[in-house]
Amino acid sequence: MGFYNNNRAGYAIAVAVGLITGILINENKDIIRSINPFTKNKSAKKKITVLISGSGSNLQAIMDAIDKEIIPNAEIVNVISSSKNAYGLTRASNKGIPTQVHSLYPYYKGIPKEDKEQRKQKRIEYEVKLAEIINSTTPDIVVCAGWLLILGSDCLKKINKNIPIINLHPALPGAFDGTVHAIDMAYETALKIKKEKNETFTAGCMCHYVIEDVDKGEPIVIKKLDIDTDKETLEQYEERLHKAEHVAIVEATNKVLSNKK
């Protein structure tokens, strides 16, 4: 009987020790995970919110780069369009990416252009709401990929300060700021220089951080292209530029995300 009782007591002690050990391990697993880099959750992806206004070819470049893991461990969590007719919305929907339309038109509807004060107030309302939409997607980065509206101070001040915002501009730093006609203006400048000096003109595109001064934020990626108007038309230059933009926007997104902890 003494041998039997001793075994029972030993078994009970072993079970108790096992239970206590299990509890301690479970309570401290987060500490262990933080110490051991090999236990880090590799499934957590960097979140990208993309702003578009048109065809979404730059959005497509980002989606393709994610699929090919050129932009690793990332996902587009939301696509916001300033136009309900933007084909980029279809591109996103085909990939199962949530989309939203945030158009300025309903805010201005019924207000004459002469009523500048009321239109100004409605623009503020539009920008504040846009900031709320962006914040609700909790992104690691916001990418303006062919977004044709200016992100004004009322919007930028409301967006979480920890969220970097980048923009693609079809011109080099300091060239043709704040215009949607930068490509045409670059080609026209090239024509003039060719005629006057018989030289080529260097244009291109850039991705830069968004600040209140339009297209004047710190450049992240710059792509230079020489325009020789004797060898290519405006349409040919535009096509070549768009290809460079697709590369630039992927490189810039990657660069910013890799620096974001």
Given this model, what pLDDT does residue 259 score?
A: 86
Provide the pLDDT confidence category of residue 25 given band limits of 50, 70 and 90. Answer: very low
Surface-to-core class of residue 194, CB atoms within 10 Å of its CB (0-12 exposed, 13-18 middle, 19+ buried): middle
**Average pLDDT over the chain, rounded to whole?**
88
Query: CB atoms < 10 A from the CB of 243, how many?
Result: 13
Is it the case that residue 246 has pLDDT exceeding 50? yes
Euclidean distance between the first and final Cα of the chain, in Å? 64
Q: Name which residue leads in pLDDT, 111 or 18.
A: 111
Cβ distance 254 to 141 under 8 Å? Answer: no
Q: Which residues contact 177 (CB under 8 A, 6 or more apart)?
A: 169, 171, 214, 215, 216
What's the fold here for domain 43-259?
Answer: Rossmann fold (3.40.50)
Cα dist. 78→30, 95, 196, 210, 250 in Å?
30, 11, 48, 19, 17
Identify the bridge partners of residue 225 per DSSP, sorted by sequence position: 203
Can you tell me the distance from the alpha carbon of 172 to that of 219, in angstroms, rounded to the nearest whole number?
Answer: 9
Among candidates 121, 141, 116, 118, which has minimal Cα distance to 45? 141
* Region of residue 251 (left: phi > 0; alpha: psi -120 to 50; beta: else): alpha
203 DSSP assignment:
E
169 is known as an active-site residue: yes
Provide the pLDDT confidence category of residue 44 given band limits of 50, 70 and 90. Answer: confident
Is it the case that residue 230 has pLDDT exceeding 80? yes
Q: What tens digit of pLDDT does each residue of 5-14 get?
A: 455 555 445 4
Cα dist. 38→26, 41, 206 in Å?
18, 9, 37
Helix axes of 234-259 and 57-67: crossing angle, nearest 10 degrees: 50
Q: What is the mean pLDDT of residues 65-81?
A: 97
Cβ distance 200 to 192 under 8 Å? Answer: no
State the catalytic residue, choosing from 169, 181, 208, 246. 169
What are the boundaries of each domain within the chain?
2-35, 43-259
- In the chain, which residue ranges form alpha helices assigned H by DSSP? 2-27, 29-35, 57-67, 87-94, 105-108, 116-136, 153-156, 182-197, 234-259
